[in-house]
Amino acid sequence: MSISELFIKRPVMTTLVMAGILVFGLMAYRLLAVSNLPNVDFPTITVSASLPGASPETMASAVATPLEKQFSTIAGVDQMTSQSALGSTTITLQFTLDRNIDAAAQDVNAAISKTLRLLPSGILPPSYQKVNPADSPIIYYAMSSKTLSLSALDEYAETFIAQRLSTVEGVAQVNVYGAAKYAVRIQLDPKALATRQIGIDEVADAVAAGNVNLPTGILWGPHRAYTVQATGQLQNAAEFRPLVLAFRNGAPVRLQDVGQVLDDVQDNKSAAWYNGSRSIILAIQRQPGANTVDVAARVRTVMASLRDLLPASVNLQLRFDRSDSILAGLADVRFTLFLTLALVVLVIFLFLRNLSATVIPSLALPFSIVGTFAVMYALDYSLDNLSMMALTLCVGFVVDDAIVMLENIVRHMEKGTPPLQAAFDGSREVGFTILSMTLSLAAVFIPVLFMGGIVGRLFHEFARRARHLSVSPQSLGDRHSQPGAAVLDRRHVRRDVRARL
């Protein structure tokens, strides 16, 4: 007995199976994550080290080199790059895809501990962070204002908006580009320091000692106790200028005597612009595996409510939303599939002129696609450009197989065979050929499953989805004229041609 005969003899079972596939497929479709590319985790760790005042050459030779030598002994390091700038060094370690990121982080931490005694004195202990280069921001917002200062605008961005967006479901982190945190910048005059015989270290110590905000003790009374706190924290440049650094010839030397004290920002070498004006850029990243479209929609909803709470002078604009291109791609694929189904139904009807024979194979395409969604959800796959490409590619396989099976059954019916017997005979004749051709089509995608590297990870879902859609149960025939998956047996074709002649 062939595979199709079981479904032909049990129409109620066949209907229930198809209904189950439809229900589970539609439920899985609503739960599938939506993204532009498959979710691939790249084991990458970034190590940062800081030594204030050191030149890039010093950072590269005294900090980056000892760390790189120690990191090279870690197993599984595929690529290591470093960047040294004024006072900072960043080393990026990319491991092989089969390396566990948590185990790699432990090895990096141990390597940093071994290298601490070789690093210059006064350096801040290096820190590391696990990152995924594939998790680029999904949505950008730009904040600008014509009346507020950049530092005030940055305060709204980092303390008001970024912290609120971090609590949104599916949001991993919010990066602030072009940040302008307020800071007092002290620009010393070397000649003035040399004249008064004051070193830079004395200036730094005096500034640190004069800018404190610590409790100084407790006053105990007969009935109450009071905590004494010295309000010695300086808030702006005007309060820093009269700060006494030292005494020379009995006169105090103040900070304003040896340089300029300005109200500025922490990093005045980086900036962001939007539409020609200085702005603060908010970049929102999603959590791995989260639905990009849903996360972007939630972020937009929250930002719409936060926009009403901002001052009227703050201009908050959406700069980029990746979900727009994803939704456009999915809409294009849906249109292609509906158009394909309509053309297939039209062609079958024009050649067979039989409504019932046209409706039954027309069910093969939607049920095969819907059933694939259930398997995708079970395998934790997502709707992305590559999986949609696999879906579009395999639609042709299912359509061809359906037409082949239907044509063979109709051939028997034209000879006068009853429909039920024609379904048995037609499916039995091409059943083995259908199965072998279906497996052959699926075998084409098997080598893609064994591809290594980043390309192999990206195309893993493509191969698995294409293979499953090629061998879906609907393509093997499950009703008395349900389509199959094979080419017509040449012997029956020749016999039918001779009969017609």
Using CA atoms, how far apart are residues 295 and 287, in angstroms rounded to an integer? 9
Question: How many angstroms separate the Cα of 251 from the Cα of each of 195, 206, 248?
Answer: 14, 16, 5
What's the pLDDT at 364? 74
DSSP type of residue 488: P
For residue 437, give both structure tokens.
Answer: 């051709």
H/E segment holding residue 16: helix 11-31
For residue 375, give both structure tokens.
Answer: 């398997």
Which of 446, 359, 431, 380 is closest to 401 using CA atoms? 431
Sign of CA dihedral 454, 458, 462, 468: positive
Q: How many CB atoms lie within 10 A of CB 416?
A: 7
For residue 241, give both structure tokens.
Answer: 């200028």
What's the pLDDT at 91? 92
What's the pLDDT at 476? 40
What's the pLDDT at 140? 92
Q: How many CB atoms lie within 10 A of CB 129?
A: 11
What's the pLDDT at 402? 72
Contacting residues for 175 by C-beta, under 8 A, at least 6 apart:
137, 282, 283, 284, 285
> Based on the number of CB atoms within 10 Å of its own CB, is 491 exposed (0-12), middle (13-18) or buried (19 or more)?
exposed
Using CA atoms, how far apart are residues 393 and 366, in angstroms rounded to an integer? 14
Backbone angles phi, psi at 122, to 5 degrees: 90, -5
Query: Nearest 5 degrees, angle CA 250-CA 255-CA 256?
Result: 105
Are residues 358 and 345 in contact, defined by beta-carbon separation less than 8 angstroms?
Answer: yes
DSSP type of residue 212: B
Residue that is written with structure tokens 């694939």 in the block: 372
What's the pLDDT at 243? 85
How large is the angle between the packed helices 385-414 and 355-362, nearest 10 degrees?
A: 150
Please give the torsion angle defined by the CA atoms of residues 400, 401, 407 and 410, in that order, rounded to the nearest 10 degrees: -140
Backbone angles phi, psi at 30, to 5 degrees: -75, -20
3-class DSSP state for residue 262?
strand
One-letter amino acid at 115 equals T
Are residues 260 and 187 in contact, defined by beta-carbon separation less than 8 angstroms?
Answer: yes
What's the pLDDT at 493? 32
What's the pLDDT at 2? 63
> Based on the number of CB atoms within 10 Å of its own CB, is 411 exposed (0-12), middle (13-18) or buried (19 or more)?
buried
What's the pLDDT at 67? 92
The reported pTM is 0.65
Low-confidence ranges of the chain (pLDDT < 70): 1-3, 39-41, 132-134, 213-215, 230-232, 289, 361, 449, 451-501
DSSP type of residue 256: G
